[in-house]
Structure 1
Amino acid sequence: MRNFLMVTLPRIVLGLLFIVSAVDGFWWLATGTHLIHPPTSERGLIFEAALQNSGFFWPFLKAVNLAGGLSLLFNVVPAFGLALIAPVMAVIVLFHFAINPAGIPVAIILIVAGGLLVYAYRERYAALLR
């Protein structure tokens, strides 16, 4: 039960969050509309539009989200999947705390789930810190 709460549940939650984000992002690329769009501040919408209008960053970001999310959800090299999406998670957390406070609950989920997984996979990351 401990392994489920400390590793499996956070891995599935993060995997699903990032897969849903990727699908929504690719849907936006194809149609110009979102499938889901949580409440976003005016500054947050400007930031999102800048990423989308860059022409290259949005598809790259959503590809990284998809790869990391699938890795976590299907438990295939999950430590690598987490490392892949960790910078994205950091930006999302900062985005919600600095620009879009309505999303702070999502930021807290990312912090808790990500922290649990970093702890669970700490031996796999040890070589990076030597």
Structure 2
Amino acid sequence: MFRIVTTDIPRILLALLFLIGAANGFVWMITGHDLIHPPTSDAGLRFEAALRDSGFLWPMMKTIDLVAGLMLLFNRAPALGLLMLLPIITVIILFHLVLNPGGLPIAGILAVLTAMLLFAYRDRYAALLR
């Protein structure tokens, strides 16, 4: 029961967040329209537009979201999936802290889920920190 609460639920929730984000990103790349677009500040919209207009960052991020989200969802090398997502998670949290404070609740949830999984998989990251 403890493992379900501390590892499985955060892993599945984080996977679903990133799979929804990947689906939304791929729909935008195909149609030019978002499925989901939460309220975003003007500065946040400019940042998002810059990522999309770069030509490669947006597809790369959404591909990582998809692959890592599937790894987490199906529990296949979840520590690697989380490691792949860490740079994106960091940018999302900083984005909401600096450019879009209205999204701080989701950034907080993301930070808590990530911290729970980092703690759960700490033994797998130990070699990286030596």
What TM bracket, shorter-length normalisation? over 0.9
Tell me which residue corresponds to 1:53: 53
Tell me which residue corresponds to 2:62: 62
Distance 2:9 2:39 in 1: 26
Structure 2 portions without partners, runs of 5+: none
2:27 is equivalent to residue 27 of structure 1 = yes
Q: By how many angstroms is 1:2 displaced?
A: 1.3
Given the two structures, how large is their TM-score scaled by the length of structure 1? Answer: 0.99
Distance 1:102 1:73 in 2: 28
Given the two structures, how large is their TM-score scaled by the length of structure 2? Answer: 0.99
2:128 is equivalent to residue 128 of structure 1 = yes
Residue type matched to 1:71 in 2? M
Residue type matched to 2:102 in 1? A
Runs of 4+ off more than 3 Å: none
Q: By how many angstroms is 1:96 displaced?
A: 0.3
Q: By how many angstroms is 1:74 displaced?
A: 0.8
Give the root-mean-square deviation of aligned CA atoms. Answer: 0.5
Tell me which residue corresponds to 1:17: 17
Distance 1:69 1:105 in 2: 21
Listed as ranges, the matches of 1:1-130 within 5 Å are: 1-130=1-130
